[in-house]
Structure 1
């Protein structure tokens, strides 16, 4: 009969259990409780910790697990292909769940897309068993065909030459549920709901117009981005950005663990707010974002969402301070997608105009390729060479005395 092994800490070295002997999933119990900044710090302590965190990240940030509530494995692959070809973004509560590593059982899948690509996705959802569900009200379209008849997916106001459209102030537009560009799809047993929310141009216009910062997260076919990760996931703070946000919406996110703040909750110097909420000049995938690569298992090209940039700042107007987001919209028929662009840097604007304008001089526009890759490289080059700091401290409090030409919509 073998000799009994004494209990630790008096066990001989050859019988002592090492942390290396534990199954990989043992780490999940601990890492699930850590905010992202602490997980990052832990990964930098040693090679073993780095290996542990990499393994954990693959298990914890599993997009297919979230999507499996809405699609079969084969459908998930096709969905990811559609994301790549149409620029469709996952946002809303599903994206928040992905980063927060939680599950809200009754949440919808919110998809954001340029309207010209929306019919392709809508038809696919119907083909896999989802039914179009009209919005309440007799004036709303009662069928998918009627919805697209009223708002044709091939309508376009994109000019033949490159233009930078008028500045758009941080959204105070009507709630998107009243928009004619919202398509509801439902499936029973169990009940699931998908909302396809389209914009005439870049869907990021809508996402940056959300009610507060905690839901400003997106998932593309190859990466997930949180725009305000320090506030959202380290501190569980959310900055309310719209004056017309419904009380029930704020209560919902408070119940989920977020402290909802407006400008009156911060001290006059606002130093903490600028660092916590990463205000200033921003772009998708910048160092202030939390970016997680997603392996789709498919051989798909990289996306172009990182060509988007904007500025978020404070504006003092008529004795009231408010949060605004400013950007221009870059749209031309030589681009497959439209983009939001921070044109506060004139070098960036001039360079983009030069690249796009030069490419207009083509003898056969019908055979010309899209220029999204050129814009993508151009934006990356300009960022690398940029001389300004990300935080535009000279304009942290912008004072405006008249409405002039800017509008809030």
Structure 2
């Protein structure tokens, strides 16, 4: 990703297109002027921007310049931390991932006022993260951390009741997010710099963060930010079609979730057969890998970050880079396939916690 400042972009673009050699208004006056192309790109979908970037060298350079500012992770994190580089160094040392609404906002180039920063951290490092938050102006908010009840009861039952059906759905969900351990909440009160209260939710996992993230309610929130890269697992459905595939019926507070994300211009669908999704190869029932061609990957600048020791000679990134999974449908056993939405689930292979 380009690290160029805005001030030197016009000169670079003029080197690409000599202004005296063409009468093309787009090439000489629009795509070379960030005051013009910034509003255009801001209103365009990511796919539209990338398609435009393929038309000429100047458009590609303009896209790189816009992306370097629109996806400036340090700027996005500066809402929560006075020193984003210090946090990202801590993130690198502890294999902490950012996900939830913050990661969605990052890719969507939007801000949801009052939204939390959701961190997913291996249990080995959660105290370190908590102490760092307290040292940087946050205070712990008691009463939000709860152990997940590890119910190993067999969900199968001969009695076909609504209660047993809901129990079955809860059991499926627990199996999908069995790496979840506890959640802690922290807040930073208003100060002389801002009248906004900032909230950080620290989710502690027993294995690795991706195990919990892949148990989220729908595909729109399957976006992850590590210390060196940002990954969107279903970018076409999420940012081009504004569709979010529900991954599990019976999810707690599902009605509230649908209402919240509908207000953010997302439409929920309940089956892979939905016409808007059938053309998306990322949602085919084939093995996926977080670094494959269906993911949207943004390299993040690492200047000023204290890098972690490499896990191996081959792996120098956050271990989430090893994640693989497959999307599949599960027909509810008590209703005909044609009369009910299916449960869409994920099976996956994740790296061991380092």
Q: TM-score, normalising length from structure 2?
A: 0.73
Aligned to 1:229: 235
1:316–1:273: structure 2 CA closer, same or farther, 3 Å change rule?
A: farther
The reply on whether 1:218 has 2:224 as its aligned counterpart is: yes
Deviations 1:75-133 (A, max 9, x none): 21111111111111110011000100111111100001111111111111111121110
RMSD, matched Cα? 3.1
- The answer to whether structure 1 residue 296 and structure 2 residue 302 are counterparts is yes
1:98 maps to: 106
Match of 1:266 among 268, 271, 274: 274
63-72 or 277-286: bigger deviation: 277-286
Query: Over residues 264-313 of structure 1, what are the superposed CA-to-partner deviations in whole Å (9 max), with x where a residue is unaligned?
Result: 8736xx97166363542111111000000110323535333211111111
Among candidates 279, 285, 290, match of residue 291 of structure 2: 285
Structure 1 gap ranges (5+):
1-12, 142-146, 148-168, 338-409
Query: Post-superposition, which runs of at least 4 consecutive aligned residues in structure 1 deviate over 4 A?
Result: 13-17
C-alpha separation in 1, matches of 2:205 and 2:62: 41
Native 8 Å contact 1:170 1:208 kept in 2: no
Aligned with 1:209: secondary structure? coil
Q: 1:187 to 1:30 in 2, by over 3 A?
A: same
Residue 113 of structure 1 is matched in structure 2 by 121
Give me the whole-angstrom Cα distance separating, in 2, the residues matched to 1:171 and 1:110: 23
Deviations 1:322-342 (A, max 9, x none): 2121124553xxxx52xxxxx
Give the distance between the partners of 2:223 and 2:171, measured in 1 at CA: 16
Distance in 1 (CA, whole Å) between partners of 2:173 and 2:230 is 26
Aligned length: 287
- Computing the radius of gyration from Cα coordinates, the structure with the larger value is 1
1:11-52 deviations in Å (ceiling 9; x for gaps): xx9999741696424211101111111111111111111111
Contact residue 98 and residue 117 of structure 2 kept, 8 A: yes
Distance 1:114 1:273, change over 3 A: farther
User: 3-state DSSP class of the match of 1:173?
Assistant: helix
